[in-house]
Amino acid sequence: MNKMIYMDHSATTPVKKEVLEEMLPYFSEFYGNPSSVYALSNHSRLAIDKARERVAKAIGAKKTEIFFTGGGSEADNWALKGVAYKNKDKGNHIITTKIEHHAILHTCEYLEQQGFQVTYLDVDEYGMISLEELEKAITEKTILISIMFANNEIGTIQPVKEIGELAKKHGVLFHTDAVQAVGSLPIDVKEMNIDLLSMSAHKLYGPKGVGALYIRQGTKIDPLIAGGAQEKNKRAGTENTPGIVGLGKAIELAYEHLEENTTYLISLRERLIKGIKERIPYVRLNGHPEKRLPGNANFCFQFIEGEALLLSLDMVGIAGSSGSACTSGSLDPSHVLLAIGLPHEIAHGSLRLSLGTGNTEEEVDFAVEKLVGIVDRLRMMSPLYEKVQGGNK
Amino acid sequence: MYSEKVMEHFMHPHNVGEIENADGVGEVGNAKCGDIMKMYLKIDGEIITDVKFKTFGCGSAIASSSMATELIKGRTVKEAMELTNKAVADALDGLPPVKMHCSVLAEQAIKSALLDYSHKTGVKIEGLEDVDFDDEHLHDHADEE
């Protein structure tokens, strides 16, 4: 087998060398608990302060509006539960979409069990919400709108600024799950009227197990984790100093190089999409043709199943992912692919290749070349393809 | 996640294809659930002289089809009727619990092809009348195992 070609950057990314180097001293050298009084802890406090500043700067927030968490899912849980409980006297209605990450959807289901009402907005064939439908869904009881910045499966970028305007106009809080967007897209929470924003370090070449929630100053929210006085009494637990340092460095790097990375990734992505569309019949691109994450390509290959595709790709050293039921352990394919209107049998044949800055044109060409053979081999085995080919016999 | 045997049969499946003028053809599963197996049998007297399959499905569905065809090729109709999903899974050195329904599908595909053979020829095959080809049931059933 050749070296591995990693094309699953939406799942996670490798920690960048510069990021790791900044983190390392905070494991064994400057290990002091940031809450302690002695000099050793000063190092930790200063490091966390610097990271907070870097995160704030990257998204146009104030330093005091950044709260570190144990990852993106915690940030999502906190935003929804924290806002819901704190504002329950104002109303019990939350608006979200059908294509959110499960960290949002399952939290919404939980809140429904607690007596909250949730509207799940439909999306169009590209995965876009309708602003008109969003505005129509707002009632006097609406306390929160939670709509993801960019979708993790199909890469579609929502009209976040316009959503923010609507939320502001109606006096409703706006949370966005920006786990896939932070580090890949320009974000300005003030200009976009975002009240709460979730992020995760390991999607932007930082470490796993650390993230942050931006909370606009003055936003009413309950803590999710009770205990110590860390993070201004809002998020208890001894700070993950090395992780937080890693997030700070990773996000700074991401935004320093945003423009060049974006240009590079879009050129790779378009090369991949073009190659596949030209060489493989019965394939569709999922998501929006332009308004999509720079590195995201998501396809459905008709007549074959996604897990079989992934296994075959793995055998030639290519790592990708699929929204097929067989990869989720349930019988249903991805809720996102169903929400954009794909029939089950098509959705089962999905493949997501999410590119990163470490990928090359040669790797993209290699992936296209291998996919041609793999798709053909699986189709030759498929009774569904036989029916299509029937006319040609 | 899969045994070497499963990967071997997935990457190099045996008996892929169709049989023209097959004596029995069976198709089970549905595209909605993500797996369909189609089985072709050539039967001479009591003996299954040839068997081929086509499968739309995941790695374990393809491997289960391949293994099931191997296990009945050259065997008698009675022996094919006795093939259980567990025997298919065991021959593959096991399947993950969530994938057991793939082996159930393989067992059902053979029985479905035998039923077709029985209908076409009028040959009575003992035990066929008890077979339940309901796919939803297959999945539920597989989950219990």
pLDDT of the residue at A393 = 40
pLDDT tier at A2 (50, 70, 90 boundaries)? low
In this prediction, residues A165-188 reach a mean pLDDT of: 98
Q: Taking the mean position of all CA atoms in its chain, how far away is CA A361?
A: 24
Q: What DSSP line would sit under B43-97, residue for residue?
A: EETTEEEEEEEEEES-HHHHHHHHHHHHHHTTSBHHHHHH--HHHHHHHTT---G
In this prediction, residues A163-192 reach a mean pLDDT of: 98
Q: Taking the mean position of all CA atoms in its chain, how far away is CA B73?
A: 12
Closest-CA distance of chain A to residue B73, Å:
19
User: Closest chain B residue to A375 measured between Cα atoms?
Assistant: B56
pLDDT of the residue at B131 = 78
Q: What percent of chain A shows pLDDT beyond 90?
A: 94
Say yes or no to pLDDT of A1 above 80: no
Answer yes or no: are the C-beta atoms of B33 and B50 closer than 8 Å.
no
Q: In B, which residues are within 8 Å of A380 by CB distance?
A: 16
Say yes or no to pLDDT of A294 above 50: yes
In this prediction, residues A254-274 reach a mean pLDDT of: 98
| A326·B57 Cβ contact <8 A | yes
Say yes or no to pLDDT of A170 above 80: yes
In this prediction, residues A250-262 reach a mean pLDDT of: 98
Those residues with Cβ within 8 angstroms of residue A369's Cβ, 6 or more apart along the chain or in another chain: none
Q: What is the pLDDT of residues A124-163, one digit of tens each?
A: 999 999 999 999 999 999 999 999 999 999 999 999 999 9
Residue A65's nearest CA partner among A204, A236, A189 is A189
Closest-CA distance of chain A to residue B111, Å:
18
Q: Would you tell me how many other CB atoms lie within 10 Å of the CB of residue A272?
A: 24
Q: Is the sign of the CA dihedral A204, A209, A215, A217 positive or negative?
A: negative
| A308·B10 Cβ contact <8 A | yes
> In this complex, which of A307, A345, A384 lies closest to B58 when CB atoms are compared?
A307
Mean pLDDT of chain A: 96
In the beta sheet, which residues pair with residue B55? Answer: B37
Catalytic residue flag (residue A326): yes
pLDDT of the residue at B48 = 98
Say yes or no to pLDDT of B143 above 80: no
- DSSP 3-state helix, strand, coil percentages of chain A (rounded to 5)? 45, 15, 40
| Chain B, window 46-105: residues with a beta carbon less than 8 angstroms from a chain A beta carbon | 54-59, 61-62, 98-99
Q: Which of B4, B6, B11, B32 to mutate to test the interface with A (most CBs of A within 10 A)?
A: B32
Say yes or no to pLDDT of A237 above 80: yes
| B10·A311 Cβ contact <8 A | yes
Q: Which domains does chain A have, with CATH numbers?
A: 17-256 (3.40.640.10), 258-384 (3.90.1150.10)
- Least confident interval from A268-282, A334-348, B1-15, B129-143: B129-143
| A326·B62 Cβ contact <8 A | no
pLDDT of the residue at A324 = 77
**Pick the catalytic residue: A285, A319, A326, A384?**
A326
In the beta sheet, which residues pair with residue A120? Answer: A96
Mean pLDDT of chain B: 90
| ipTM of predicted complex | 0.91
- Least confident interval from A385-389, B56-60, B114-118: A385-389
Q: CA–CA separation, A160 vs A274, rounded Å?
A: 28
pLDDT of the residue at A330 = 65
Interface contact B18, partner A, CB < 8 A: yes
Residue A244's nearest CA partner among A59, A14, A32, A23 is A23
Say yes or no to pLDDT of B136 above 70: no
Q: What percent of chain A shows pLDDT beyond 70?
A: 97
Q: What is the pLDDT of residues A303-335, one digit of tens each?
A: 999 999 999 999 999 999 998 766 655 667 899
pLDDT tier at B137 (50, 70, 90 boundaries)? very low
pLDDT of the residue at A331 = 66
How many residue pairs from chains A and B have C-beta atoms closer than 8 A? 72
| B34·A324 Cβ contact <8 A | yes
Q: CA–CA separation, B36 vs A15, rounded Å?
A: 41
Q: What is the pLDDT of residues B49-108, one digit of tens each?
A: 999 999 999 999 999 999 999 999 999 999 999 999 999 999 999 999 989 999 999 999
pLDDT of the residue at B140 = 43
| A383·B13 Cβ contact <8 A | no
> In this complex, which of A315, A333, A381 lies closest to B34 when CB atoms are compared?
A333
Interface contact A75, partner B, CB < 8 A: no
Say yes or no to pLDDT of A390 above 90: no
Q: Which of A300, A307, A324, A346 to mutate to test the interface with B (most CBs of B within 10 A)?
A: A307
Residue A268's nearest CA partner among A9, A17, A15 is A9
In this prediction, residues A275-283 reach a mean pLDDT of: 98
pLDDT tier at B130 (50, 70, 90 boundaries)? confident
pLDDT of the residue at A323 = 81
What are the structure tokens assigned to B131, written together?
């077979």
pLDDT of the residue at B33 = 82
Say yes or no to pLDDT of B142 above 50: no
Give this prediction's pTM: 0.93
Q: In B, which residues are within 8 Å of A308 by CB distance?
A: 10, 57-59, 61-62
What are the structure tokens assigned to A378, written together?
């699986």
| pLDDT, greater one: A104 or A329 | A104
Q: What is the pLDDT of residues A45-84, one digit of tens each?
A: 999 999 999 999 999 999 999 999 999 999 999 999 999 9
Closest-CA distance of chain A to residue B77, Å:
24
